[in-house]
Amino acid sequence: MEALRAEMEAYAKAHHVPILNEHGRRFYAEFVRQAQPHRILELGTAIGYSALLALSLASADCTVETIELLPERYETAKAFLARSPLGRRVTQHLGDAGDMLDVLREQGRTYDFIFIDAAKGQYPDYFEKATPMLEQGGVIVADNVLFRGYVLHPVMMPRRFETIVERLQRYLELANTPPYTTKIYPRGDGLALTRRK
């Protein structure tokens, strides 16, 4: 398990796959430990790293449903997950996270832990689509909400980041509108932990 995770970290580094960074990992692990979720929904599988990390810390009945847009990443995740017994508790979906959220919602699925880590410009949309599936007492974790610091301090920001940064600011607004409250953990690229009151 440790060896597999180390191999995945090395793979991500070599192939420039943006998995949770060192700080992000530590906070994410802490959120999972505290929440002790049973049904996790993850947007942005990448190579399966955060899914495995979560399952290694959650209860033995915990499952993860995870969505990835890129076929190559989906396949790489499948291969890595097949090498851990925890992988059996992961259901992978290939497709656009926004579209898949509609499908899952129509199927009447609910989750007690939702991890948003797919297209940064889509976070407000993900929030609107995911919250109806969030159970009482459930939490939403979002990665990269500070986007290199520009979300709180958009000084000297390259024009090409304008839309993403605006959307992330909008996300944080939504996530701080009752009944939701959000705490931002500024280490790493910024993680937001949202609870429903």
**Could you tell me the end-to-end alpha-carbon distance of the chain, in angstroms, rounded to an integer?**
36
Does 93 interact with ligand SAH (rule: CB under 6 A)? no
Dihedral sign for Cα atoms in the order 84, 34, 39, 113: negative
Binding of Mg ion by 66 (CB under 5 A): no
**Which residue's CB is nearer to ligand SAH, number 10 or number 153?**
10
The answer to whether 50 contacts ligand SAH (rule: CB under 6 A) is yes
What distances in angstroms separate CA 127 from CA 14, 50, 55, 116, one per listed residue? 31, 19, 23, 8
CB-count exposure of residue 85 (10 Å: 0-12, 13-18, 19+):
exposed
Q: DSSP assignment, residue 103?
A: H
* d(C-alpha 47, C-alpha 185), whole Å: 24
Q: Which of 45, 117, 169, 194 binds Mg ion (CB under 5 A)?
A: 117
d(CA 192, CA 194): 6
- Binding part of the chain for Mg ion, among 28-36, 51-59, 106-114, 141-149 by CB under 5 A, reads 141-149
Stretch of 116-124, 134-142, 156-164, 168-176 lying at the interface with ligand SAH (CB under 6 A): 116-124
Is 4 a binder of ligand SAH (CB under 6 A)?
A: no
Q: Does 86 bind ligand SAH (CB under 6 A)?
A: no
> Which range touches ligand SAH (CB under 6 A), out of 44-52, 78-86, 130-138, 150-158?
44-52
> Would you tell me which residues interact with Mg ion (CB under 5 A)?
117, 143-144
> Would you tell me which residues interact with ligand SAH (CB under 6 A)?
18-20, 44, 46, 49-50, 67-70, 73, 96-97, 117-119
